[in-house]
Structure 1
Amino acid sequence: MKRILFVTDHLGGGGAPISIIALSSALAERDCEVSIVSLQDKVWHEPPEGVRIKVLDFQYRSPWQKLRRYRLHARLLDQWLRDQAHEFDLVVANLHYSHQVINRSSLAKRAWLCIRTDPTVALMGSRRPGRFARLRRLYHRRRVLAISRGMLDSLARLGIGPAVSRVIPNIIDAVAIQTAMKESVPYDDYIVYVGRLDKRQKRYDRLFNAYAISGVSQRLLVVGDGEIDEAKKIVDSLGIADRVTFVGQQENPYPYMHHARLLVLASDYEGFGRVIAESLVCGTPVVSTDCPSGPREVLGEGLERCLAPLDDGEALGSRIAEVIENPPVIKSRHYETFKPSAIADQYVQLMLMEGSGSECGGSKP
């Protein structure tokens, strides 16, 4: 039996915990023994059958401990590892804090660091000295997994070269989504935005401007929480308040995607663009900014016309109108590469390569 360890900052909200849980479930179904270590006491998800979750929380109690928190947390992880009856065949660390801890632990030379956000985001607007040097120390000559090729391209532009790299995208469980999407919603003839209202990344200001420019007759539904008051101010200033409806965060957003004419994403950057792939699974076309680093990789196979230049709000509005007028036909080939069995296959292959002692070198799709 192959043993796999995922280390993550937390298992709370956000796309990363959802992806880790889905991947763990798919690998457990392959008769792998899967353990997840959460470095925060923040676990909002039930473990899938056959998956073990361990919380290794560390709370610093002094400025000295805060300064050395990564190293102290790594000691806690190493102590737990020594107590395990067997070694792990594959170790994958997810998210920034976990990367810092792993690189100071006994797993530093063999763990894969899974990047789920474009690394250049850490440098955006920052005036803190040494930020680039810290990023280089974190990933240069390390084993790096990325959920989109654009992330590896970003590292390369910064002169950061992993020792070994590989691209394995997120799991999108089409069967589960297509079961969940069948519920009804109290709206018809609308377009939709699904996600947290976070102006820095998601650029809902650009979304609302593009919607106003598009001139489409469909209502815009906003599904998600976050900076709702600020978003409503922008909607009021554009004079479109009577055509924009904030429905809040929904436990099951898939019916809102499925019944929509179109899903719109206006982000400055994405890690993978999970909501894009989920919308395609729901059979709903997507219009997105051509931002780093996921949308272009998801919107392939003839869907490239649904991308708009990043800093051209008028083009995004035009794309909305064009796709409403002439929507593409969404087929299973647009999302089948993300299905659980396909992604699990790639992780199993990664384990087999490690077990044979061969290099997994090179960035592979």
Structure 2
Amino acid sequence: MGIRKACQRGWPVSGDNTSFLFVSDHLGGGGAPISILNLAKALAGRGHEITIAVLSDKVWHDIPEGVTVKTLPFQYANAWQKLRRFRLHAEKLDAWLRDEARTYDVVIANLYYAHRVVTESSLAARAWLCIRTDPTEALLGKRGSRAKAVRKIRKLYGGRRVIAISHGILASLDAHGATPAHGEVIHNIIDADDIERRMHQDVEVSDYIVSVGRLGLRQKRYDRLLRAYKASGIAQKLVFVGEGELENAQALVRELGLESRVVFFGQKANPYPYIRHADLLVLASDYEGFGRVIAESLICGTPVVSTDCPSGPRDILTGELANYLVACDDEAALAEKIASAVAAPPRIDPSHYRGFSPSAIAERYEALP
């Protein structure tokens, strides 16, 4: 357990300085920690006091200037503690808050484990639960009782203060009887300036379309993409950027006779040049929380075809770009849209992603009641 502080000298402090406490499962791998840190950086840059309480030792990223990180790991020692882990971890969080002898103006819990812990803590009544992926998809997709999963969702989110990163997440909660007492939709920050700085490197492939993200059969559905790609009849190669179920994906490529046309590059620290140089980005998921790679692709000037999955793509592909959303179970339509987008790419305008800027999103968090 320890504290990490970015240098706090030179903070641009304003008269309406607000103290924010973010609680997160971890700051390790995945897109959620990056989104949390981007938001923390934006708010700190506007003169606010930002603390992140991390409920583990996973802090794998550089901490933005003006942001304090406190790690509060908990490891259960036996079966009894495992059953009560959320409550026991909440007691540890409360003990830290008492030691701090202070309160925070705004409290936001991120990710499922943090939601469970915070709702057992002294912060329960006032905390916002920020939902970054559809909990109904995540919980109902697992083995076990569907009725039990629905009860869990209702107990955790029903009547609470909820921030959802897409409209579809709130709609899904409502459809399952877990309507929040107060719900806000605030999208993830997508920093166009940062992406534009990083997207101009050369890449080792040309004349291709791209898929960027975890290579998984569940949720991301590389199988759907491969079949639609073959059916599209386009001449471009298909490039995958991301780690995951490589052997299974390669086996399907061989089964479909696409060995000479599909390339797997694995994880890239900077995926933006691969997006920038592609003719098209395709997302074939069954569900997303937000689908930030769609907005990133638009910033790179690369058009997108996506399944109209719950819950993020429809929030990003708006206006005429919504024509490139297809039903999840319609592989023929996905193939057709891939071919048409390659043949006649749609026009991308900064208005399609300007609303995800750091300043625009930070203002939404500043306005929370």
Verify same fold: TM over 0.5: yes
Query: Please, which of 68, 76, 100 is the counterpart of residue 52 of structure 1?
Result: 68
Where does residue 11 of structure 1 map in the other structure? 27
1:340 equivalent in alignment to 2:345: no
Write the distance in 2 (CA, Å) between the matches of 1:172 and 1:206: 27
Q: SS where residue 43 of structure 1 aligns?
A: coil
The aligned counterpart of 1:199 is 217
Which of 260, 266, 283 in structure 1 is aligned with 2:278? 260
- Structure 2 residue 182 is matched with structure 1 residue 164: yes
| Deviations, residues 264-316 of structure 1 (Å, cap 9, x unaligned) | 01000000001001000111000001110011111002201111111011110
Residue of structure 1 equivalent to 2:127: 111
User: 1:86 Cα shift?
Assistant: 2.7
Structure 1: distance between partners of 2:18 and 2:302: 38
How many residues are treated as equivalent by the alignment?
Answer: 351
Three-state SS of the structure 2 residue aligned to 1:18 is: helix
Kept in 1, the 8 Å contact 2:229–2:335? The answer is yes
- Cα deviation for residue 156 of structure 1 reads 0.9
Of 319, 323, 326, 2:341 maps to 323
Alignment partner of 1:275 is 2:296? no
Matched residue type, 1:45? H
Letter in 2 for 1:267: S
Q: Which has the higher contact order (CA 8 A, sep 6+)?
A: 1
Q: Secondary structure at the match of 1:134?
A: helix
Unmatched tracts of structure 2, length 5 or more:
1-16
Q: Distance in 1 between matches of 2:30 and 2:221?
A: 17
The AA in structure 1 aligned to 2:96 is W
Counterpart of 1:216 (choices 217, 231, 234) is 234
Distance 1:256 1:59 in 2: 40
Work out the CA distance in 2 between the residues paired with 1:237 and 1:124.
Answer: 27
Q: Superposed, which structure 2 residues align to 1:23-102 within 5 Å?
A: 23-102=39-118
State yes or no: 1:239 paired with 2:253. no
Output the TM-score relative to the length of structure 1.
0.95
Give the letter aligned to residue 73 of structure 1.
H
Partners of 2:77 and 2:141 in 1: CA distance:
31
Amino acid in the other structure paired with 1:124:
G
Counterpart of 1:123 in structure 2: which amino acid? L
1:153 aligns with 2:176: no
Structure 1 counterpart SS, 2:250: helix
Say which SS state the counterpart of residue 240 (structure 2) adopts.
Answer: strand
What are the ranges of 5 or more consecutive residues in structure 1 without an aligned counterpart?
354-365
Deviation at 1:85, TM superposition (A): 4.4
User: What CA deviation, in whole Å up to 9, does each residue of 1:56-107 have, x standing for no partner?
Assistant: 0000010000000000000000011112243100000011000000000000
- One of 161, 183, 192 as aligned partner of 1:143: 161
- Structure 1 vs Structure 2: percent identity of aligned residues? 58
* CA–CA separation in structure 2 for the residues paired with 1:302 and 1:34: 39
How far 1:331 moved relative to its partner?
A: 1.0
Instruction: Tell me the alpha carbon deviations over residues 171-226 of structure 1, each in whole angstroms, 9 at most, x when there is no partner.
Output: 00000000000111111111000001111110000010010011100011100001
- Could you tell me how far apart the structure 2 residues matched to 1:86 and 1:281 are? 41
Misfit runs of 4+, over 4 Å: none
Q: Name the structure 2 match of 1:313.
A: 331
- Partner SS state of residue 100, structure 2: coil
8 Å Cα contact 2:136/2:150 also seen in 1: no
Q: Does 1:181 align with 2:199?
A: yes
Aligned twin of 1:127: 144
3-state DSSP of counterpart to 1:127: coil
Return the letter of the residue paired with 1:97.
Y
* Aligned amino acid, residue 86 of structure 1: R
Residue 124 of structure 1 and its aligned partner are, at CA, apart by 2.2
Task: Write the distance in 1 (CA, Å) between the matches of 2:117 and 2:144.
Answer: 24
**40-49 or 121-130, which deviates more:** 121-130
Q: CA deviation at 1:38?
A: 1.0
Q: Within 1, Cα distance between the matches of 2:310 and 2:243? A: 23
User: In structure 1, what residue type is equivalent to 2:279?
Assistant: R
* Secondary structure of the corresponding residue to residue 73 of structure 1: helix
Q: Distance in 2 between matches of 1:200 and 1:21?
A: 27
Q: How many Å apart are 1:166 and its aligned residue? A: 0.4
Q: How many Å separate the matches in 1 of 2:236 and 2:120?
A: 53
Distance 1:241 1:33 in 2: 53
